[in-house]
Structure 1
Amino acid sequence: MNGPVTWLVLAYRIPSEPSRLRAGIWRRLKALGAIYVQNSVAALPADPAAERALRTLRAEITQMDGGSAQLLTADALAGGADLVSAYNAARDDEYEEFADRCRDFLAEIERETAACHFTYGELEENDEDLKKLRGWFEKVAARDRLGAAGREAAEKGLEDCGRALDGFADAVYTADTDAP
């Protein structure tokens, strides 16, 4: 991160019932990578894509019966480093969860290798799992606009998964070639 961060701040009010509305807004903000400054006040580093998404969300909230929302740009006068830390901590949590899934993937490859379960079906299943991991990483990395520390380890985990799958594929090909 270079210099101070300008933030987009969405302050909103929606009825407490039905709770699915509140949960839906929370899920959408989480998918964008927003952090909550306090209840019903979420912040994102400003950029055109985030602004479009938050303007759309604001419009949806104001269409709800009893809903209201304001979208602001803000520069922190004090506590800006706390916002950046909170934003990066949220990304690091996502990277850690991702790294856990990478470890699960590697353990699965190890189990299949130990059992000599070298089939094309298993290879295809593992290939699909790796594609999902890559897609997940891309989503988290796209939200990581302030340089969270966990990115490097997550990237390494994904590379390890790719190498493990390549090795497993070689074993499947060898088993196929050696088959009568």
Structure 2
Amino acid sequence: MVTLAWLLLTYKVPPEPAAKRIALWRRLKAMGAIYLQNGVCLLPKTDDHMRRLKMLENDISQMGGEAVILETVALDRSQEEKVITRFKVDRDEQYREFLGRCADFENEIAKEIAINKFTYAELEEEDTDLKKLQGWLAKIKKLDFYGATLADEATQRLHACEALLDSYAQRVFDAHDENR
């Protein structure tokens, strides 16, 4: 069995200004960290995470706070699974939100088709929305360290959105050819 190593960050920062504390929390969540409790978070041990945590440690110090970064492993397989499950749950929350946005995208195109709105301006808007979905999924996947359960569904749903936009684009092109 390969033992997984994690980086554990514990920190304490002054309550004010709240904006700095919130920005710190956002940066850690953007890295894919899970919180074990307030001021205690965990990331898989990678060189990138180590470097970024060291930079955060410096930022915390400049905020008048204190931080400690430790390398740790789980006591046993059961504890390791609890941690992995937490990572997966966090990613699945993000995938669920992503899937909801895919549904919004699909509904928007269905609405445009229903009212026969086949314009280049609308196609461009939908293309921009699809690019946002593609970028968002890429960000989630980058933080999906342990293979969350909804990863495949999210990928398939994005492919369906891409196919839907291709189909809509063809209808826009056809509509403009008819108008010539």
Change (3 A) 1:110 1:3: farther
Q: Offset of 1:143 from its aligned partner?
A: 0.4
Q: Offset of 1:49 from its aligned partner?
A: 1.4
Q: Offset of 1:80 from its aligned partner?
A: 1.5
Which position in structure 2 is the counterpart of 1:60? 59
Asked if 1 retains the 8 angstrom alpha-carbon contact of 2:87 and 2:145, the reply is no
Q: Distance in 2 between matches of 1:104 and 1:4?
A: 41
Which position in structure 2 is the counterpart of 1:98? 98
Which position in structure 1 is the counterpart of 2:84? 84
Alignment gaps of 5+ in structure 2: none
Q: Secondary structure at the match of 2:128?
A: helix
Q: How does 1:128-167 map to 2 (within 5 A)?
A: 128-167=128-167
User: 1:72 aligned to 63, 70, 73, which one?
Assistant: 70
Q: Distance in 2 between matches of 1:108 and 1:52?
A: 42
Q: Offset of 1:31 from its aligned partner?
A: 0.6
**Paired AA for residue 67 in structure 2:** A
Name the Cα RMSD after superposition: 1.1
Q: Offset of 1:90 from its aligned partner?
A: 0.2
Q: What percentage of residue pairs aligned between the two structures are identical?
A: 42
**Paired AA for residue 173 in structure 2:** Y
Which position in structure 1 is the counterpart of 2:170? 170
Q: Secondary structure at the match of 1:11?
A: strand
Q: Distance in 2 between matches of 1:14 and 1:175?
A: 59
Q: Offset of 1:145 from its aligned partner?
A: 1.2
CA deviation vs aligned residue, 1:36-78 (integer Å, no higher than 9, x gap): 011100101111111121111111111112x100111110114
Q: Distance in 2 between matches of 1:97 and 1:61?
A: 30
Q: Offset of 1:133 from its aligned partner?
A: 0.5
Change (3 A) 1:39 1:8: same
Normalising by structure 2, what TM-score?
Answer: 0.96
Q: Offset of 1:149 from its aligned partner?
A: 0.9
For the pair 1:4 / 2:3, whether they are aligned, the reply is: yes
Alignment gaps of 5+ in structure 1: none
Tell which deviates more after alignment, 48-57 or 148-157.
48-57
Q: How does 1:39-54 map to 2 (within 5 A)?
A: 39-54=38-53
CA deviation vs aligned residue, 1:118-138 (integer Å, no higher than 9, x gap): 000000000000000000000
**Paired AA for residue 19 in structure 1:** A
Q: Distance in 2 between matches of 1:21 and 1:13?
A: 12
CA deviation vs aligned residue, 1:57-115 (integer Å, no higher than 9, x gap): 111111112x1001111101141111110011000110110011001100101000111
